[in-house]
Chain A
């Protein structure tokens, strides 16, 4: 029995936004008389936390507390258009739409507050805690809620805004493939350590160490979920999963989780990561996105680590124990000298 360890490296890019653009998302924002602002979208929260992230972006764009942002999404009768949550576009497109909408609403809010405070709008600043102050005069202020009430009942104005996140559609040149296929690019370097059991063919992922550069983070806890979950999903693609165990043949397709191989909690390695934030040129507050990319670099990093461990490059995934054992066997056969020495004694070899 032999266990061999190896280290693997992978460095990747990941594009944000629908390929070639043409994928708008709109946002509407309006104040109520409760002090809350409602952000209305048709974007889908897949469980990644889009609603929370949009509330945070709206809060900073309006200059109000995040608790006063209500995100209302998922109804095509009330929400403006969204192309959908895919292609790592949610935070980028919807975030830009929310900022765009909030800019318009914030201008009105400042005008309303200015009239109440008898000051110029340009001299006002929200403190982010629910109040608007006259710069240089700390005692002259109005709460956001009072401004909203004044707008509605006294000044007869609506505090609202419209926004869109949009990249115009571009075409591909059919001859050269010239195209503009992304809104920004995130990057990552992942290093994994594995232990390969050369008797059973099993691969144990020991550690995943990763650096992701994803622009401005909106919510580090949500980013953490993507990186940890992505490492797990990437490891599953690299070593375990297939809907066609005899691909390309379709025999023995799994029909339940009982028949579908996935890593369990005990297989999950130690994951250590660092996030770099270098602002993108197009994203809301410099956001790039982490949604899809974190499931990718662990795959080549793990497969490269297996090569580092056993000295054989495996070029297909999943790298099941059978794949490892066959690779080791093939390597042994091709590296062994022809059995000349044994034949010297006149053996029975054909």
Chain B
């Protein structure tokens, strides 16, 4: 997985389908999804509630097992991946959730440090410094020893961004990161994500309802009833039916 090729897509999805439940209650939630995301792209996924956006996101993040079709993260097939492989993949993906999900008993710096502890190449001192730098980069250099309870909603979401990006992941998955924020903080958070991801060469997939932030995207894809119904024509890679030619 570490052998990243320049032109290899970060995410390559083909014929992906997914079901919930079993027996009579079995219900299909994703139908024959095709989607390719190139390195460095910022993709926004929109669509009404229940259209399967979050399910697709959790599949890409290796939080769920792929049932049918093919889903490749940096060339690694996740369909049939073991639990251990899934966990390994997660370590190369940053997540930002609707709720910040910071640990209330940890300071901002300790929270960010949790994102580094998984990567044994960092020494204790390095983790300490990098966590502080990451918080500096999101404009919280003067709040590094604050507990989440003493930070505003926007500040907490910025800590969450620092935590997601501190280990320099290849992919950042964000599920409605602005939903709990007011207009200005939401805007700031998205701009920050965009800037940092560009600096690190990180790919972003952002699920949102918030059409005030659509302009940060290189490409917008839309889902409805478990199908991808629009893949923005800015790039041609995702116009449907195109399977990754370099498995």
A-B complex is real: no
Report which A residues bind B (CB closer than 8 A).
none
Report which B residues bind A (CB closer than 8 A).
none
